Amino acid sequence: MADVFDQMLTHIRKIIDAGLDADAVMRVLEILESPYVSKEILEKARLYSETLPKAEERPFTPEQRYLHFLWDAFDKLPLCLIVPFSIPFRRILAERLFARCGRALVVEENVRFNFGQFLSVGDNVFFNRNVFLDTKGGVEIGDAVGVAEDVRIFTHGHDEASHMTRSYAPVRIGSYAKIYAGATIMPGVTVGEQAIVASGAVVTHDVPPNMVAAGIPAKVIRERRSGGRSGEELEHIWLF
* Identity of the residue numbered 133: L
Report d(CA 73, CA 84) in Å as an integer. Answer: 18
Residues 209, 223: Cα–Cα separation, whole Å: 9
* 156 part of the active site: no
pLDDT band at 238 (very low <50, low <70, confident <90, very high): confident
The 3 state secondary structure assigned to the chain is CHHHHHHHHHHHHHHHHCCCCHHHHHHHHHHCCCCCCCHHHHHHCCCHHHHCHHHHHCCCCHHHHHHHHHHHHHCCCHHHHCHHHHHHHHHHHHHHHCCEECCCCEECCCCEECCHHHEEECCCCEECCCCEECCCCCEEECCCCEECCCCEECCEEECCCCCCCEEECCEEECCCCEECCCCEECCCCEECCCCEECCCCEECCCECCCEEEECCCCEEEEECCCCCCCHHHHCCCCCC
> Residue 228: is its pLDDT beyond 90?
yes
Per-residue pLDDT at 179 exceeds 90: yes
Average pLDDT of the segment spanning 153-165: 94
The average pLDDT across 157-182 equals 95
Indicate whether 92 pLDDT > 90: yes
Give percent of the chain with pLDDT exceeding 90: 97
Query: Where in the chain is CATH 2.160.10.10?
Result: 100-240
Q: Which CATH class is domain 100-240?
A: mainly beta
Q: Residue 149, class by beta-carbon neighbours within 10 Å (0-12 exposed, 13-18 middle, 19+ buried)?
A: middle
Vertex 170 angle, CA 164 and 171, to 5°: 125
Mean pLDDT of the chain: 96
Which of 178, 171, 170, 169 lies closest to 209 in space, CA to CA?
Answer: 178
As a whole number of Å, the end-to-end CA separation of the chain is 18
pLDDT of amino acid 1: 62
Active-site residue (options: 68, 156, 158, 205): 158
Residue 2, pLDDT above cutoff 80: no
